[in-house]
């Protein structure tokens, strides 16, 4: 009994010391912004991160999630994190970094058909190829990429008047909404469409009024953003394995105690697996739902034709000058 009492006293003392340690440390409040809606997997994962990191840090890292672009659109969020006027966002990826961070070389990490599958994507982005570019981004722009979350495989989503699309030439004259950077517009061109930039929050009404003929997003996004209500075709091009990169201001990241950075890394990985599971499950079930509940048509295109169109577009000399000759093919074939 005496030994047991000693053990209990020691445990209580350790708990008291930990509590005192947390009490003496600074509390960090991190505003975490996204344009995604409240029920999208991305937002749910952000809240999971907030819950887990709060628990790990004993309440010393307080994450406040803002959805539906409450603190700005994708471009605004990224620029504000560069300036240090916003702490975190998930609305980021290499196509945004290429233009807004004056780092065109990083655009190679977000191209049609550059990754063979999701496992290949993670091997590249969390391996030497990806980490080298994330570190350079942090050094030169003040933005730290802290993880990679699977957003879903991007498919073409078109209104009825666009007609059936099976090959790149069927997209000639089709006005396809893309996010507002040159790198994203190039994606539309590589597929054979006529791309136009448009903010995410404007897409639904543009589809409904016929201002645009279509857009491309993963199936879970088409559902949660209700694009399925105002479109007719899903074309299974599988042209991009979509992902977002949770980011944080680099100066803030370096100022944090090391153990807080560890808590954030652990919590962000929990959120990653949480989001990835939701997205993968939705991708399995949503096609049937689109047909049954919304009367949509699912088109199986000649995917090889789209792959060849993308390869021809991205092996032009102007891209080789930016990324290095043959880099597109090297990433495609990497282990």
Paired with 235 in beta bridges are: 156, 299
- Percentage of the residues of the chain whose pLDDT score is greater than 70: 93
Two structure tokens written together for 327: 């880099």
pTM for this structure? 0.85
Two structure tokens written together for 12: 């209580």
Mean pLDDT of all residues belonging to the chain: 92
Mean predicted confidence (pLDDT) in 1-25 = 47
Contact 158, 233 (CB under 8 A): yes
pLDDT given for residue 180 in this prediction: 87
Q: What share of the chain is helix, strand, coil (3-state, %, to 5)?
A: 55, 15, 25
Mean predicted confidence (pLDDT) in 68-96 = 95
Whether 3 shows a pLDDT value over 70: the answer reads no
- pLDDT band of residue 8 (cuts 50, 70, 90) is very low
Structure confidence by residue, pLDDT tens digits, 45-61: 999 999 999 999 999 99
Whether 23 shows a pLDDT value over 80: the answer reads no
Structure confidence by residue, pLDDT tens digits, 277-331: 999 999 999 999 999 999 999 999 999 999 999 999 998 999 989 998 889 999 9
Whether 234 shows a pLDDT value over 50: the answer reads yes
Paired with 177 in beta bridges are: 196, 215
Strands 194-197 and 143-145: unpaired
pLDDT given for residue 209 in this prediction: 97
Structure confidence by residue, pLDDT tens digits, 102-120: 999 999 999 999 999 999 9
Two structure tokens written together for 110: 């977000």
Give the domain 27-333 fold.
D-Maltodextrin-Binding Protein; domain 2 (3.40.190)
Two structure tokens written together for 267: 């919590």
pLDDT given for residue 335 in this prediction: 82
Two structure tokens written together for 218: 């993963």
Residue 155 DSSP code: E
- pLDDT band of residue 13 (cuts 50, 70, 90) is very low
- Residue 110: count of CB within 10 angstroms of its CB: 23
Nearest CA-CA partner of 137 in 95, 186, 199: 95
Whether 156 shows a pLDDT value over 90: the answer reads yes
- Residue 261: count of CB within 10 angstroms of its CB: 15
């Amino acid at each position: 009994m005496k030994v047991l009492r000693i053990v209990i006293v020691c445990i209580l003392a350790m708990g008291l010391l930990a509590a005192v340690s947390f009490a003496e440390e600074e509390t960090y409040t991190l505003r975490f912004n996204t344009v995604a809606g409240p029920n999208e997997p991305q937002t749910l994962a952000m809240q999971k991160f907030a819950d887990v990191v709060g628990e790990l840090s004993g309440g010393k890292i307080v994450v406040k999630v803002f959805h539906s672009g409450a603190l700005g659109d994708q471009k605004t969020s990224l620029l504000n994190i560069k300036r240090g006027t916003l702490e975190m966002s998930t609305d980021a990826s290499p196509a945004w970094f290429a233009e807004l961070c004056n780092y065109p070389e990083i655009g190679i990490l977000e191209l049609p058909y550059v990754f063979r599958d999701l496992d290949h994507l993670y091997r590249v982005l969390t391996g030497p190829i990806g980490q080298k570019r994330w570190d350079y981004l942090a050094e030169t722009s003040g933005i730290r990429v802290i993880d990679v979350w699977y957003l879903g495989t991007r498919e073409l989503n078109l209104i009825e008047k666009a007609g059936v699309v099976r090959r790149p030439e069927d997209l000639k004259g089709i006005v396809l909404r893309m996010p507002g950077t040159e790198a994203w517009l190039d994606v539309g061109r590589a597929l054979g469409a006529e791309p136009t930039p448009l903010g995410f929050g404007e897409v639904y009404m543009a589809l409904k009024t016929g201002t645009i003929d279509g857009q491309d997003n993963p199936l879970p996004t088409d559902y949660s953003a209700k694009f399925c209500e105002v479109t007719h075709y899903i074309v299974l091009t599988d042209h991009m394995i979509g992902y977002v990169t949770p980011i944080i201001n680099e100066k803030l990241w370096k100022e944090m105690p090391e153990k807080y950075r560890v808590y954030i890394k652990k919590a962000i990985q929990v959120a990653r697996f949480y989001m990835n599971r939701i997205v993968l499950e939705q991708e399995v079930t949503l096609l049937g739902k689109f047909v049954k509940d919304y009367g949509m048509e699912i088109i199986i295109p000649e995917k090889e034709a789209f792959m060849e169109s993308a390869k021809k577009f991205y092996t032009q000399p102007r891209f080789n000058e930016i990324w290095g000759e043959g880099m597109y093919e090297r990433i495609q074939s990497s282990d």
